[in-house]
Structure 1
Amino acid sequence: MSMESEVAAQIYRLQELHNRFAAGEYEEMNALYSEDFQGTLYMPSSGTIETYNANQIREGNKEAAAYYKGQRFRFIFSGVTVIPQSENQAAVSYAITYINGAKVVRALSLETWRQEADGVWRMLRWHEEKGQ
């Protein structure tokens, strides 16, 4: 399987795992973040940029799973683009659409994924720009 296919498969698995928040699940998602993870999230509603390390993003996923448990919503990832940077690292971008009833939020995600020593592709860096 090509690097592009392997990384794209991880992105689509990440989408599935976001949708599993409704069942209170987050552990498998948390395994997809590198210990070296660094992330930023821009939320226009607050006008701030939030930063996350590996522990913080994992705790945020745990909280999200508790919040979304039992709710009906969907995360849809589209326009996935994978650009190899080296033999074990790739830049990835895609659009996210979050739908919960009448509420629709769109975002753009830019990520760096790295194949780590155990052969698993994990997210190393993440920057997301959310819409209102």
Structure 2
Amino acid sequence: MGNTMAGGTTHFHDRYIDAWNEAMSTGRSAPIEEFLSPEYHGWLGQEAAATAPFDAATAREGFAGTVADMQGCSVHADFRTVTPRGRDEAVVFYEMTYRSGAEITGRALLLESWRLTDGAWRLCRDFTEVNVGQPAA
């Protein structure tokens, strides 16, 4: 599962990041929401010792708030690792940075579980640690 899938199409996670950037440009979170599976759920924390669970409805609210508050920023996936778990599942780990020009305005570490359903990759669950510190020099 490199950067492209069979047939030369863009890798599913690149399309997800592209959807984030479309949403950040327009201020509408619909492009991101299209990737959520119906049973999506996740956990959000600002430190490893404390997380709060959330469901798809809460995630949609969070996406809408993020793209509205940070409209005009861009999103980048750094240090990304995609690990297949069979033909129809993958786990993705990466650092997401939000940038205004060259300035990093927000950072998060994400661990995501994806499933291929009816020909489309859907985000099933994730663990997100937000506002993590700056990387080591």
Question: How far apart in 1 are the matches of 2:108 and 2:37?
Answer: 22
Give how far 1:128 is off. 1.4
The one of 56, 61, 66 equivalent to 1:59 is 61
Q: 1:84-126 CA deviation, whole Å, 9 max, x = no partner?
A: 112211111111122236554332211110011x211010111
Aligned pairs (5 A) from 1:65-76:
65-69=67-71, 72-76=72-76
SS at match of 2:11: helix
**Structure showing greater relative contact order (alpha-carbon pairs closer than 8 Å, 6 or more residues apart):** 1
Paired amino acid for 2:56:
A
Count of residues in Structure 1 that have an aligned counterpart in Structure 2? 125
SS at match of 1:25: coil
In the alignment, does 2:132 pair up with 1:129? no
Q: Could you say which residue in structure 1 is the equivalent of 2:82?
A: 82
- Compared CA separation, residues 103 and 3, structure 1 to 2 (3 A): closer
Question: How far apart in 2 are the matches of 1:122 and 1:10?
Answer: 9
Give yes or no for contact 1:112–1:125 (8 Å, CA) kept in 2: yes
Which structure: greater helix fraction? 1
Q: 1:45-102 CA deviation, whole Å, 9 max, x = no partner?
A: xx85232211211122122233233xx3222112221111122111111111222365
Give yes or no for contact 1:89–1:113 (8 Å, CA) kept in 2: yes
Moved more, 51-60 or 101-110: 101-110
Paired amino acid for 2:42:
G
In the alignment, does 2:13 pair up with 1:11? yes
- Compared CA separation, residues 105 and 64, structure 1 to 2 (3 A): closer
Q: 1:17-58 CA deviation, whole Å, 9 max, x = no partner?
A: 2223231121121010101111111124xx852322112111
Q: Could you say which residue in structure 1 is the equivalent of 2:96?
A: 96
Ranges in structure 1 where 5+ consecutive residues have no aligned partner? none
Question: How far apart in 1 are the matches of 2:27 and 2:128?
Answer: 23
Identity %: 26
Ranges in structure 2 where 5+ consecutive residues have no aligned partner? none
In the alignment, does 2:43 pair up with 1:27? no
Q: Could you say which residue in structure 1 is the equivalent of 2:111?
A: 110
TM-score (norm 1): 0.78
